[in-house]
C-alpha cells in the first residue's frame, strides 16, 4: 500500500496502515457520552478521513457508549478495502460518565461480541485491552484478561492484540501470553513518561499509538510550542503531530477531531519538518 499521507505506512502484524490515523472518541457527545450535537458533521469527518486515504481508525464500544461504533458503521460500512479499525475492551461506562473496569472473562467476551455487532464485522482487526484507570496505568496482573482475549483470537474473532493504558511490566506480561502489535498509552509533547518504552517497542517492531496526541480534552498550550509554530509559519497542533511522527518510526497518530477543517489541517500540518534546534526548544515543554 502506498500513501501520500505524512509518515507513510506501518505494519501491524499483517495489516498495513497509514501512520496518520484517526481517533473517533471525540465524535460522541460531551465527555464522550451520548450522541454528537452535529450527527451529519460527525459522519462527514469519518467519510473524509477515509476519502483522504486514512486506513487506521481507533474506537471503542465505550465511546458514547455505542455511539462512535454506530457512527463508523453508518458512515463507512461496507468498509473500503484496506481500512482497519482498532477497538478497545476492558472498560464500561456508568451513568455519571465514569469508566469502570470490565475485565472479567465474561465481560471481555461480551465486549468483543458487541464490537463485532456494532461495527458489522466477522472479526476485529485489532483489540486493545484497556487497563488502569482515568489517573493512568496502575500495576497489577493482566493475565486472566489477556488470556481471554488470546483465546478469542484463537477462535478467529480477533486478528491482532494490543494493550492500552499499560505499565511497562504489563506490556511484558502481555507479550509472555500472546504477541502484541501495539501499545496505546498517553504520550505527547508535554507527557513523555513512556520514552524508554517507545524505544524498546521500536526495536521489536511493535507500534506505539499515543492517545491524547494533541493534549486531549484540553489541547496543548505552551509558549515554547507557540514560539516554534510561529517561527515555522505553522500551528501548535501541526508541530505537536509532526514532532510525534519524527520522534520514532513506530509511532502511529490517532488525533481526534469533530471538524473536517481540523482533519485536513492536521494532515497538512503533520508533514512539517522539525530541525534539531526546533526539537531542542520543544524539549523544554516536557514535564
Ligand atoms: N486508550 C485510552 O484509554 C484512550 C484514552 C483517550 C483517547 N483515546 C484515543 O485517542 C484518540 C485521540 O484522543 P483525543 O481525541 O481525546 O485527543 P487529541 O487527539 O489529543 O485532541 C483532540 C482535541 O483536539 C482538538 N483539535 C484537533 N485538531 C485541531 C486543530 N487542528 N486545531 C484546534 N484544535 C484541534 C479537537 O477539537 P475539534 O473537535 O474542535 O477539532 C479535540 O478537542 C481518541 O479519539 C481515542 O480514539 C484512547
Sequential pLDDT tens for the chain (287 residues): 889 999 999 999 999 999 999 999 999 999 999 999 999 999 999 999 999 999 999 999 999 999 999 999 999 999 999 999 999 999 999 999 999 999 999 999 999 999 999 999 999 999 999 999 999 999 999 999 999 999 999 999 999 999 999 999 999 999 999 999 999 999 999 999 999 999 999 999 999 999 999 999 999 999 999 999 999 999 999 999 999 999 999 999 999 999 999 999 999 999 999 999 999 999 999 86
282: in domain: no
Q: Give the strands of the sheet with 22-23, arranged side by side.
A: 22-23, 56-58, 84-89, 124-130, 158-164, 182-184, 207-208
Residue 30 Cβ contacting ligand 1 at under 6 Å:
no
Residue 184 Cβ contacting ligand 1 at under 6 Å:
yes
Which of 234, 257, 268 has the most ligand 1 atoms within 8 A of CB, as the residue to mutate?
257
Q: How much is the pLDDT for 1?
A: 80
Contact at 8 Å (CB) between 65 and 34?
Answer: no
Contact at 8 Å (CB) between 281 and 224?
Answer: yes
What DSSP character marks residue 183?
E
Domain encompassing residue 205: 9-219+249-258
283: in domain: no
Residue 193 Cβ contacting ligand 1 at under 6 Å:
no
Residue 185 Cβ contacting ligand 1 at under 6 Å:
no
- Kindly tell me the sign of the dihedral angle through the C-alpha atoms of 45, 50, 51, 54: positive
Q: How far is CA 158 from CA 34, 72, 94, 122, 166, in A?
A: 27, 18, 26, 9, 20
Q: Read off the CATH number of the domain in which 57 is found.
A: 3.20.20.100
4: in domain: no
Atom 15, ligand 1: residue with shortest CA distance:
256
Q: How far is the CA of 265 from the centre of ligand 1 (A)?
A: 14
Q: Which residues of 227-266 are buried (b: 16+ CB within 10 A; e: fewer)?
A: bbbeebebbbbbbbbbbbbbbeebbbbbbbbbbbebbebb
Write down the residue that cell numbers 518504552 correspond to.
197
Q: How far is the CA of 24 from the centre of ligand 1 (A)?
A: 8
- The count of domains in the chain is 1
Whole-angstrom Cα distance, residue 163 to residue 143? 12
Q: How much is the pLDDT for 46?
A: 98
Q: How far is the CA of 51 from the centre of ligand 1 (A)?
A: 20
Give helix 223-231 / helix 236-247 axis angle, nearest 10°: 90
146: in domain: yes
* Closest atom, ligand 1, to C-alpha of 262: 31
Residue 130 Cβ contacting ligand 1 at under 6 Å:
yes
Whole-angstrom Cα distance, residue 20 to residue 56? 8
Contact at 8 Å (CB) between 81 and 107?
Answer: no
Whole-angstrom Cα distance, residue 258 to residue 89? 23
What DSSP character marks residue 277?
H
1: in domain: no
Q: Give the three cell numbers for residue 286.
A: 516536557
36: in domain: yes
Q: How much is the pLDDT for 40?
A: 98
Which of 21, 22, 26 has the most ligand 1 atoms within 8 A of CB, as the residue to mutate?
26
Q: How far is the CA of 25 from the centre of ligand 1 (A)?
A: 7
User: Is cis: bond before 252, omega within 30 of 0?
Assistant: no
104: in domain: yes
225: in domain: no
Which of 166, 194, 256, 272 has the most ligand 1 atoms within 8 A of CB, as the residue to mutate?
256
Amino acid at each position: 500500500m502506498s500513501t501520500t499521507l505524512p509518515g507513510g505506512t506501518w505494519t501491524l502484524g499483517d495489516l498495513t496502515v497509514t501512520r496518520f490515523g484517526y481517533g473517533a472518541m471525540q465524535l460522541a457527545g460531551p465527555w464522550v457520552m451520548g450522541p454528537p450535537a452535529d450527527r451529519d458533521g460527525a459522519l462527514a469527518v469519518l467519510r473524509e478521513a477515509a476519502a483522504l486515504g486514512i486506513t487506521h481508525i481507533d474506537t471503542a464500544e465505550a465511546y458514547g457508549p455505542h455511539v462512535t461504533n454506530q457512527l463508523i458503521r453508518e458512515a463507512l460500512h461496507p468498509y473500503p478495502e484496506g481500512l482497519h479499525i482498532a477497538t478497545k475492551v476492558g472498560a464500561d461506562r456508568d451513568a455519571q460518565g465514569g469508566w469502570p473496569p470490565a475485565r472479567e472473562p465474561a465481560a471481555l467476551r461480551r465486549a468483543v461480541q458487541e464490537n463485532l455487532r456494532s461495527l458489522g464485522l466477522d472479526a476485529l482487526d485489532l483489540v486493545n485491552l484497556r487497563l488502569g484507570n482515568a489517573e493512568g496505568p496502575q500495576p497489577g496482573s493482566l493475565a486472566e484478561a489477556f488470556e481471554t482475549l488470546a483465546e478469542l483470537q484463537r477462535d478467529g474473532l480477533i486478528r491482532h492484540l494490543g494493550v492500552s493504558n499499560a505499565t511497562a511490566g504489563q506490556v511484558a506480561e502481555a507479550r509472555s501470553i500472546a504477541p502484541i502489535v501495539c501499545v496505546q498509552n498517553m504520550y505527547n509533547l508535554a507527557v513523555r513518561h513512556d520514552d524508554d518504552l517507545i524505544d524498546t517497542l521500536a526495536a521489536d517492531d511493535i507500534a506505539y499509538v499515543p492517545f491524547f496526541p494533541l493534549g486531549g480534552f484540553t489541547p496543548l498550550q505552551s509558549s515554547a510550542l507557540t514560539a516554534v509554530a510561529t517561527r515555522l509559519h505553522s500551528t501548535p497542533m501541526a508541530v505537536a503531530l509532526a514532532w510525534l511522527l519524527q520522534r520514532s518510526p513506530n509511532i502511529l497518530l490517532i488525533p481526534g477531531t469533530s471538524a473536517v477543517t481540523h482533519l485536513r489541517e492536521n494532515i497538512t500540518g503533520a508533514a512539517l519538518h522539525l530541525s534539531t534546534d526546533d526539537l531542542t526548544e520543544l524539549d523544554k515543554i516536557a514535564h
